[in-house]
Amino acid sequence: MGFLESFRQNFIEENRWQYLTDGLKTTLIITFFAVIIGMLLGFLVAIIRSTHLRTGKLLIPDLICRLYLTVIRGTPVVVQLLIIYFVIFASVPISKTFVAVIAFGINSGAYVAEIVRGGIMAVDIGQLEAGRSLGLNYRQTMISVIMPQALKTVLPALANEAIVLLKETSVAGYIAIADLTKGGDIIRSQTFSAFMPLIAVAVIYLVMVVLLTKLVNLLERRLASNDHR
């Protein structure tokens, strides 16, 4: 069977290409909302942890955060996804996509938290002392002095984390979500040809990752060019 024939069979026949486009849409939706949840959760955890490290306050919240980080970073994301779907939401009739968003968001949050905490702790302690010596409280100093500096240093790493997440969502098929990867796999099971659909899936991921990485590099250069330090 020639290349064109194979292409026709895998993608044109019975509109199979829609498995890929619908899958891509699902992948993007899951990634987008998981990134948002991951960022919110990650920043919250990072702020709690760095506040504890810098002031000794928030002992109990810090303990909870550390437990969260250990568990999430110490177990595979697929296992987390399965547990959240089959154990935690077992008896709740709920959209699978929603479950995936929650699972990947919680997972990403742990990595975001460590990136952001690193950024906060990398800001010289003298900045906090200067802010406090002027009478600003801890929160005001965090918001006006520490976070803007921390954010700038971690922005590229955060963007990379989002790109990693885009690829990680490819295990969503474990709870029978028809994401991009699953879409390719469905075509494979229908046409009994593996090469075309799987390579197509790989190419789509690759193009997205390469483009996004280019964007991050651009962002990085922009940040560096208006670096006031």
Partner 1 sequence: MITVKDLTMRFGDVTVLNGISEQIEKGEKVVIIGPSGSGKSTFLRCLNLTEKPTAGSIVFDGQELTGLHDRELNLIRRRMGMVFQHFNLFPHLTIRRNITLAPVKLGILTKEQADDRASELLKRVGLADKADAYPAQLSGGQKQRIAIARSLAMNPEVMLFDEPTSALDPEMVGEVLELMKQLAEDGMTMVVVTHEMGFAREVASRILFMADGKIMEQNSPAEFFSNPKSPRLKDFLSKVL
Applying CB under 8 A, which residues contact partner 1? 124, 126-127, 129-138, 140, 144-145, 148-149, 152, 227-229
Give the pair of three-digit tokens for residue 162. Answer: 């989002």
Do 146 and 127 meet the contact criterion of CB atoms below 8 Å apart? Answer: yes
Please identify, using beta-carbon distances, which residue of 5 and 228 lies nearer to partner 1: 228
- For residue 70, the minimal CB distance to partner 1 (Å) is 28
Residue tagged 């193009």 (tokens): 207
**What residue spans of the chain are helical by DSSP H?**
3-7, 17-55, 59-74, 77-83, 96-122, 125-133, 138-141, 147-168, 180-191, 195-225
- For residue 126, the minimal CB distance to partner 1 (Å) is 4
What is the rounded distance in angstroms from the CA atom of residue 200 to the CA atom of residue 3? 13
Please identify, using beta-carbon distances, which residue of 136 and 186 lies nearer to partner 1: 136
Sequence letter at residue 141: T
Please identify, using beta-carbon distances, which residue of 97 and 127 lies nearer to partner 1: 127
What is the rounded distance in angstroms from the CA atom of residue 31 to the CA atom of residue 38? 10
What is the rounded distance in angstroms from the CA atom of residue 157 to the CA atom of residue 145? 20
Please identify, using beta-carbon distances, which residue of 95 and 133 lies nearer to partner 1: 133
Please identify, using beta-carbon distances, which residue of 25 and 132 lies nearer to partner 1: 132
Please identify, using beta-carbon distances, which residue of 53 and 130 lies nearer to partner 1: 130
Distances 168 to 6, 164, 171, 201, 221 between C-alpha atoms, Å = 29, 6, 6, 14, 27
Residue tagged 């060019």 (tokens): 225
Please identify, using beta-carbon distances, which residue of 69 and 158 lies nearer to partner 1: 158
Question: CA-based angle 104:109:115, to the nearest 5?
Answer: 135
- For residue 218, the minimal CB distance to partner 1 (Å) is 21
- For residue 48, the minimal CB distance to partner 1 (Å) is 17
- For residue 50, the minimal CB distance to partner 1 (Å) is 17
- For residue 149, the minimal CB distance to partner 1 (Å) is 5
- For residue 156, the minimal CB distance to partner 1 (Å) is 17
Residue 27: DSSP 8-state:
H
